[in-house]
Amino acid sequence: MRGFLQPALIAKLVLTLAQLMVVGRLLVSAFQRIPRDMQVHSVGDRQTVMTVIIPVYNEQSRLAPCLEGVLRFSHVVQEILVVDTGSSDRTRALAQSYAVRDQRIRVVSAGEPPLGWNGKSWGIVHGFELASPQSNWILLLDADVRPSPTFPDRLVAACEELGVRCASVALLQAPATDPLSWLLHPAMLTSLVYRVGLPGQIARSPDQVFANGQALILHRHLLAALDNGRRVAFANAEDLALARSLSAMGEPIAFLDALDDSFVTMYPEGRQVWTSWPRSLHLKETRGNFAAVLDLALLTGTQGAWLPLCLISLRSPTLRLPAFLSAAVRLGILAGMRRAYRWHSWWYWLSPAADVLVVARIIQAATVQRPVWRGRTIGQGGQP
């Protein structure tokens, strides 16, 4: 009996400690959070000039709504570079049709990325090098972002008010309508909350940094430090690698809450959420193996363990305290995270049931040394 109780007691202590660490992280991020209703004033009367860079690769099905939003940007945005990295569909022709409508839009053919390069990094490098020298801010947008007309103005104003030169935004999410998307997407998004806390933070060390490359802004003065983006050439998640590289140089990095009704669509079906998103969710970029393992262990002991723990606790009273705590944390995150979505399917409320599978999938993705993204192998040397 003693041999059984000792492992059970250790498990109880470890799991309780893991949950308390998450609770502490959430409380700290809540108290340090930038006010969501921060008054962001217009920058229309300032000497602000922005270049928007949209790296694209086979985006003919998603690019048009993004460009429709970009067309409505104010005069602060004086240049829009759509950088094509070797598309084989009609992406380039689509972008050219918008360039006819707005002279600010310029379509750039970067060609296929070099072996092992992250294709988006390849597009970013070309965009950085071709950006007008008059632009003091560079905004990176993904093709699946649906920006509001005031989004760039608000983002620049937020950066100036907070005194940061690099920031990204937790855009509103709009998953596909199928049930699998609504089971997987919230569970995967929750994995970030467990590990990095709430959006609306300014990180001042690389270990605290998180960045969302769907909408990321940086001041032109930072480009030289990044060698115009070449420092993240072989990164799996170029946004996180970029932000952590800047943080290591002493730059504060802001991860802002949604500034307006701009949103992102991401994947067209749940199957692609499962196969594609975990590639960047393990957050290994620029981290040592030990730190990455600890991070995934914490995720396993919290989001990945709460449901099995609750089931086991029905027959093991010793584990009921950590089971109760873990369930309370998970349901609290579920209730609070609903505002991250533009609309809700009732499947959203069942998404915690997918936690075990999602955590396992993220861990499996972390073991892949050179991931393949849209048929291109990413990593130094470029070989699987």
Amino acid 4: pLDDT: 47
Tokens 């420092």 -> residue: 231
What is the band of 89 on the pLDDT scale with cuts at 50, 70, 90? very high
Whether residue 233 is contained in a domain is answered as yes
Residue 3 has pLDDT above 60, yes or no: no
In a domain, 42, yes or no: no
Q: How many domains does the chain have?
A: 1
Give pLDDT, residue 46.
61
Which residue range forms the structural domain that includes residue 112? 50-176+197-267
Q: Is residue 124 part of a domain?
A: yes
Q: Which pLDDT does position 36 carry in this prediction? A: 59
Q: What angle do CA 209, 212, 217 make, to 5 degrees?
A: 90
Could you tell me if residue 305 is inside a domain? Answer: no
pLDDT score at 38: 56
Residue 381's pLDDT is 59
Ordered DSSP codes for 273-341: HHHHTHHHHT--TT--HHHHHHHHHHHHHTTTTHHHHHHHHTT-GGGHHHHHHHHHHHHHHHHHHGGGB
Mean pLDDT of the chain: 90
Q: What is the pLDDT of residues 206-258, one digit of tens each?
A: 888 999 999 999 999 999 999 999 999 999 999 999 999 999 999 999 999 99
Is 336 contained in some domain?
A: no
Domain CATH for 91: 3.90.550.10
- Span of 2-16, 135-149, 238-252 with lowest mean pLDDT: 2-16
Average pLDDT of the segment spanning 347-356? 97
pTM for the model stands at 0.92
45 close to 66: Cβ distance less than 8 angstroms: no
Query: Which tens digit of pLDDT belongs to each residue from 162-195?
Result: 999 999 999 999 999 999 999 999 999 999 999 9
Does the pLDDT of residue 29 top 80, yes or no? no
Q: Which amino acid is at 239?
A: D
- Residue 359 neighbours by CB under 8 Å, 6+ apart: 191, 299, 300, 303, 304
pLDDT of 192 reads 95
> Which CB contacts under 8 angstroms, 24+ apart, belong to 37-46?
38/158, 38/161, 40/154, 40/157, 40/158, 40/161, 40/259, 41/157, 42/150, 42/153, 42/157, 43/76, 43/153, 43/156, 43/157, 43/160, 44/74, 44/75, 44/76, 44/153
Determine, yes or no, domain membership for 150.
yes
Judged against a pLDDT cut of 90, whether residue 52 lies above it is answered with yes
Going by pLDDT thresholds of 50, 70 and 90, the confidence category of residue 370 is: confident
In a domain, 133, yes or no: yes
pLDDT at position 43 is: 57
Is 289 inside any structural domain? no
Q: What percent of the chain has pLDDT over 70?
A: 94
Tell me the Ramachandran region of residue 238: left when phi exceeds 0, alpha when psi lies from -120 to 50, beta otherwise: alpha
Residue 42 has pLDDT above 60, yes or no: no
Task: Supply the pLDDT for residue 64.
Answer: 97
pLDDT confidence band for 93 (50 / 70 / 90): very high
Average pLDDT over residues 366-383: 81
Q: Are 254 and 246 in contact (CB under 8 A)?
A: no
